[in-house]
């Protein structure tokens, strides 16, 4: 099991040891893209996921998941090549579209592979701990990539992109070394629609799945969209490219710590997770109101909180799923996340285009607060009436 954990962590580390990532949005802005063009380019990543998310989940329930994880990285490496050759709006758009293919093939597939391997070993209860380590490795990769970008950005963006391509190709190699987990379904093509229908029904009828799916999709969609814009937050408050990379490195460190500690907080109820989300939203709102270089410290804390919330909620979600449709239902969640992300990224770009980035960040902070408060109030409203009954 230790070998499996090491491979899982290596895959996630290399997946984010992408030197260009902490400066992607900055590179777009430096290339002359407007807020609207940046929003459209980022939305292309998401819209590709919307189209491919659920079909890729069904494939992951039928085909070898390790091969899908490897193919995902190859698609992104191709996109990096396009960025080097065509550093224009259309080149960036094409590269992000291929990145969207990667994300769709990986979403749900990776989670299902890890859970089913642990379940086969009789250790399904370790899922939160293993995924916490995997997420920590992901953010460790981003941290080191950000530190590397801070030192190398002076040599130009093409060098950062080329180094990123090497890392994701190595990640594809690690994917092929992962265990061949037994598939939950057969590979007959006529079963595709029936399996898709069953997965969609499971998302609705399995106890506790739908509320968690909606909550997690909202959290991931909003916070993932903000991850793409934190770089521009740093740029707008006056940080230089190297300082922005260091800011992203610090946030990645906080996210790694949050991921590692998340499994230790299994005792937290859902109400506590909703409260933490409201706290994260308040920090975003405060940072956007002050809008000075030092407030990035608040955003670093938001990174850690977001990982505690996501890992803890996802563990509850995975435990509630049926093994035969695990990847499909997880991809339904991914689809909902992509729709949330697309709506927010386009809305953010629209607000920034007609006003400014600061206003867009203020709106996002309010949305995060509202999402946590909405689910918190729902949980309070559903509290058992028996708690008030006389003894």
Task: Quote the percentage of the chain above a pLDDT of 70.
Answer: 80
> What is the pLDDT averaged over residues 38-59?
76
What is the pLDDT averaged over residues 95-119?
80
pLDDT in tens, 138-189: 878 888 998 899 889 889 999 999 999 999 999 898 888 877 755 544 444 4
Instruction: Give the pLDDT band of residue 84 (cuts 50, 70, 90).
Output: very high
Q: Residue 44 to residues 38, 148, 342: CA-CA distances in angstroms?
A: 10, 27, 8
Distance, CA of 82 to CA of 360 (rounded, Å): 30
Q: Which domains does the chain have, with CATH numbers?
A: 2-388 (1.20.1250.20)
Structure tokens at 60: 């992951």
Q: What is the pLDDT of residue 100?
A: 87
Mean pLDDT (whole number) for 218-242: 84
pLDDT, mean of residues 286-315: 86
pLDDT at 188: 45
Determine the pLDDT at residue 187.
Answer: 40
- Find the range with the poorest average confidence among 17-26, 332-341, 360-369: 332-341
**Nearest CA-CA partner of 71 in 171, 159, 189:** 171
Q: Which residue has the higher pLDDT, 269 or 142?
A: 142
State the pLDDT at residue 134: 82
Residue with more model confidence, 61 or 214:
214
Which pLDDT belongs to residue 207? 62
Residues for the chain: how many in total? Answer: 391
- The predicted pLDDT at position 353 comes to 85
pLDDT band with cut points at 50, 70 and 90 for residue 266? low
pLDDT value of position 81: 94
Of 378 and 288, more confident? 288
Q: Is the pTM of this model over 0.85?
A: no
Question: What CA–CA distance (Å, rounded) separates 26 from 309?
Answer: 28
- Segment 313-328 shows an average pLDDT of 70
Per-residue pLDDT, 58: 66
Decide if 44 contacts 97 (C-beta within 8 A). yes
pLDDT of residue 1: 66
Tell me how far CA of residue 275 lies from CA of 14, 22, 257, 319, 376, in angstroms.
33, 29, 19, 22, 7
Tell me the mean pLDDT in the region 225-239: 86
Average pLDDT, the chain: 80
């Amino acid at each position: 099991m230790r070998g499996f954990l090491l491979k899982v962590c290596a895959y996630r580390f290399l997946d984010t040891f992408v030197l260009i990532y902490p400066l992607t949005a900055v590179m777009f802005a430096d290339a002359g893209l407007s807020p609207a063009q940046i929003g459209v380019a980022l939305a292309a990543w998401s819209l590709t996921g919307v189209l491919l998310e659920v079909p890729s989940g069904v494939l992951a329930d039928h085909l070898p998941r390790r091969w899908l994880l490897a193919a995902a990285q190859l698609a992104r490496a191709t996109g990096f090549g396009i960025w080097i050759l065509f550093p224009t709006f259309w080149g960036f758009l094409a590269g992000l579209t291929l990145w969207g293919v990667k994300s769709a093939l990986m979403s749900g597939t990776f989670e299902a592979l890890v859970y089913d391997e642990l379940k086969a070993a009789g250790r399904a209860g370790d899922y939160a701990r293993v995924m916490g380590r995997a997420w920590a490795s992901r953010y460790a990769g981003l941290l080191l990539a950000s530190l590397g970008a801070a030192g190398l950005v002076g040599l130009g963006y093409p060098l950062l992109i080329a180094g990123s391509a090497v890392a994701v190709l190595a990640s594809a190699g690690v994917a092929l070394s992962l265990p061949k987990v037994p598939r939950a379904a057969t590979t007959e093509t006529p079963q595709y629609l029936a399996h898709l229908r069953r997965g969609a029904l499971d998302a609705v009828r399995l106890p506790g799945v739908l509320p968690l799916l909606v909550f997690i999709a909202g959290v991931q969609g909003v916070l993932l969209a903000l991850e793409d814009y934190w770089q521009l937050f740093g740029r707008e408050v006056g940080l230089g490219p190297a300082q922005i990379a260091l800011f992203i490195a610090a946030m990645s460190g906080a996210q790694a710590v949050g991921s590692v500690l998340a499994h230790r907080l299994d005792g937290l109820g859902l109400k506590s997770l909703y409260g933490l989300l409201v706290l994260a939203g308040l920090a975003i709102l405060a940072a956007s109101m002050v809008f000075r270089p030092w407030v990035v410290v608040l955003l670093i804390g938001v990174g850690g909180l977001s990982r505690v919330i996501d890992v803890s909620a996802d563990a509850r979600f995975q435990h509630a799923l049926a093994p035969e449709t695990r990847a499909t239902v997880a991809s339904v969640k991914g689809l909902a996340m992509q729709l949330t992300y697309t709506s927010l990224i386009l809305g953010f770009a629209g607000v920034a285009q007609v006003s400014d980035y600061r206003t867009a960040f203020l709106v996002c902070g309010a949305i995060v607060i509202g999402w946590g408060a909405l689910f918190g109030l729902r949980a309070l409203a559903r509290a058992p009436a028996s708690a008030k009954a006389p003894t």
